[in-house]
Structure formats: structure tokens, C-alpha cells
Amino acid sequence: MVRTMFLGTGHYVPEKVVTNEDLTKLMDTSDEWIQQRTGVKTRHHIDWQNEPMGASELGARAGKKALEDAKVSKDEIDCIIYATLSPDKAFPGDGVLVQAKLDIPAGVPAYDVRNQCSGFLYGLQMADAFIRTGTYKRILLIGAEAQSSGLEFADRGRDVAVIFGDGGAAAVLGPNPRDDGRGILSVKVHADGRYVSELECPFPSSAVSPRISVADLEAGRQYPVMNGKHVFKHAVTRMPEVVNEVLAEQGVKSTDLKLVIPHQANQRITEMVQRKLELTDAQLFSNIAEFGNTTAASIPLALDQAVHQGRVQAGDLVCLTAFGAGFTWGAALIRW
């Protein structure tokens, strides 16, 4: 059986670091309040005055690093899958923008995935299916977000604005040439659209005309809104549930896992998922304190760090899991 392997990973974040103390100058909050509720200490934001860029640029820079890590030429990439909720333009999608920025040959298809925090896992399931069926041989999978330009840095937007950061991360995927059991073992993704309004950015909207009005702008409807308690309740249920789903399919247990890399949504969610799965501290990877929630970039960014810190070695059993707007959620089990 052909299995899909991670051939290389990479990430890129803007140089500008925004501390909790920096945010206290913009809204009624405190470092203690933010850390207690989210676990975030710092996040990286695009320097909009000195080096403005969109999510596609973050993704392209991460993609270049992943190609270098994989020792794969841009000319070998035969498919791009790109996940974001913060594209540069209303259309076209960022996938083609990354293609142009990296000078990947014309004709290579570029897919855009809009599954928010679960976007990387949705893209991973697609990439795995493509590679196992022989449709493509080298896939560049990217998650990237320019969140800071879409947040309300004021008291009204405080609960959401303190969480998010900017960044991009990528992986190069291809078939394992050896029959040694390494590669992606299982990817499961799910959705429940009944809870859309609990976590969304409602405007601009093609369901109304004009897509956004002066009244909408004045009311702040262009900013994301979240029912934090409701999201927390579902996240701490669905993430352990889907992790157990992929474990059961492969006949393994949580004790067999070397590392679990959850979407970095909120440290309190991560801690609850850890308890429900009965994971040790050594089995869990968390970087939300440094980067905040980078949505589609979150899992690949953490994965890249874990790999290059030596916390993931060949043959290790690794699990990725996410939950986000939609609601969408998923998990992937990998024999590294």
C-alpha cells in the first residue's frame, strides 16, 4: 500500500512581536486576564506600516522553507493545496498567488480550502487521497493567516482580538518509496453547520446587497464574533472524540502516541483535551503562548517546530487534531 509521507516542513512568522502589555494600550485588558483565559503571552503581527503583506506572502515564505527542508525543487511540485480564512482578495483564492510567488510552473493546479482552524487537516486528507491514488507525486500543502488586519483592537473586540496571530506554515508531501509502515495512517474530518453563528465573520456577505454597508461597518459586523463558552464546550468534546476515532481505526491507544499536536486555539482547551485523552505533558505540544492562534497555520507551524526541536523522530506515532468555525473538526494519525 502506498502511504503519504511528510518530506519536509517549514514556517514563517512576521518579525513584529505583540505582547499582552502592548494590547493593554488599545483595550481594557491585562496580561493576567489574557493568560488566564487563553494562555497567550505574545503573538506575531504583520508590520502594516513598514512591511505590509497578505496571507499569501506568509504562505509563500513558509512554502519556500518547506521545499528547502524537503530538498524538493519548485519544478517538482505538481499540486498546491492552500488553507486560509484570511485570503488576500475576495477572489481569486490565495493558492494561485502562492504559485506565482514561488514560480511554480504554469499548469500546476492550486486548490483553496476554507475550513478555518481545521483547514490544514481537510487539506491533508485531500493530499493523502491524491498521493495514494497516484494523481500527484509532490504536493505543497500550506496554511497561512493574516489575522491582524481583520481584528477589532478595542474593548468591543477584545475577547477575539487577544487570541489571534499571523503566520504561515507548510509541508511537502509525497509517496513513501519503502514499505516500512511510515506515513499517514488515517485522516478523519467532520462538520456540523448548525453552529455557524457561534463563531463567524458575517460580513462582507454575498447574501445581501451591497455586501457590506456603512451601517454594517459602524456596527463592526466585519469583525469576527465568537460564543467562547459554546466553542469551548464543543471543542473539548469533538477533538478527543475524533482522536479516539483514528486511534481505534488503527488499533492503537493514546499511550502509544509519541506526540499529539492540537490546533492552538486556547491553552485551556488544550489542557482539557489532554485530560480527556489521558496524555502526559511529554506527549503534548503547545506553542500558543508564543504565537497565539494562527488558525490554518496553527498545526503545521507547531509540527514544524516539533520536528526541528527533535520531539518527533522517524517511526514515532504522531496525532494532529483540530476544531474550528463551521463547526469543523478532524484528526490525523501519522507514523513519522
Q: Cite the active site residues.
A: 117, 263, 293
Find, among 190, 186, 63, 83, the residue nearest to 129 by Cα: 186
- Bridge partners of 171, per DSSP, are 9, 141
Burial 62-93 (b: 16+ CB within 10 A, else e): bbbbbbebbebebebbbbbbbbbbbbbeeeeb
State the cell numbers at 38: 487563553
- Bridge partners of 18, per DSSP, are 43
Q: At what angle do helices 94-101 and 55-70 cross, to 10 degrees?
A: 50
Find, among 309, 259, 321, 231, the residue nearest to 9 by Cα: 309
Question: 3-state class of 77 per DSSP?
Answer: coil
Strand 259-262 relative to strand 317-324, pairing: parallel
- Bridge partners of 321, per DSSP, are 262, 331
The radius of gyration computed from the CA coordinates of the chain, to the nearest angstrom, equals: 19
